[in-house]
Amino acid sequence: MSEVKARVELLAHTPEPLSLIYAAFRQCYHAGDVADMWPRLLAGDISREKQAAFVENIMASGHASPIEHVSFTFALSGVSRALTHQLVRHRIASYSQQSQRYVDASDMNYVMPPAIAANPKARERFLNFMDEVGSAYRDLKAMLEEDGRGSSSCEDARFVLPQAAASSIVVTMNCRTLLNFFEHRCCTRAQWEIRGVARTMLSLCREVLPEVFRHAGARCERLGYCPEGEKFTCGRYPLPERRS
């Protein structure tokens, strides 16, 4: 058993993402068939600058549904079950997560919160508990195997595993879902672990498709004020009623 840190990898994204979004937007306002335009886009006859300007202008008007045609797939590892429980609440997405039912967790890795790591007494108690969990899991698994459960013993032994247990998950989101995800999870009010993962995902998205993700992030960064209200604001941006 050992402590692990989050790792975020971009596995794949829709090919020619800007051109595909441009074509989808153009179809909404174009009398012809964008299938006839597609070869020209791939050949570079319509510059990236022209495509970007068109896409950003239309998105600024509030029309965003065509960006759903482009998706990004990430592999997240070294993240806690606490994080993945938050992640899967973003429902317009696809997930494939490492199963605690089938994967033996006898040597479970774990994620330690920074606040606990910074407190010597809390850190010691946390590590002791991780050892206790590991011991209980292995004992229960062995007892169930003796009862003839075989490899299926993992599915019941897992009930003692904590939210700190490390996991791996593959997630695919379209651009519109990603923008919403970043609005909520890049906010300083988001839980520290998923906020860090979201910011890394955003950085990777910006490298591929800056035209869509240049202004993505916490809502306050786009709005110029904090929409969370006086009770929850972090103070980085003024509240609506305090704007000049």
How far is CA 21 from each of CA 34, 63, 69, rounded to the nearest angstrom? 11, 12, 7
Alpha-carbon span 85 to 143, nearest angstrom: 29
- What residue has token string 């992030």? 217
As a whole number of angstroms, the distance between CA 55 and CA 171 comes to: 25
Asked about 89 being catalytic, the answer comes back as no
Structure tokens at 221: 């960064």
Tokens of 73: 């797939």
| ∠ CA 222-223-224, rounded to 5° | 100
CA–CA separation, 42 and 133 (whole Å): 55
Catalytic, out of 26, 81, 185, 195: 185
The catalytic residues are: 185
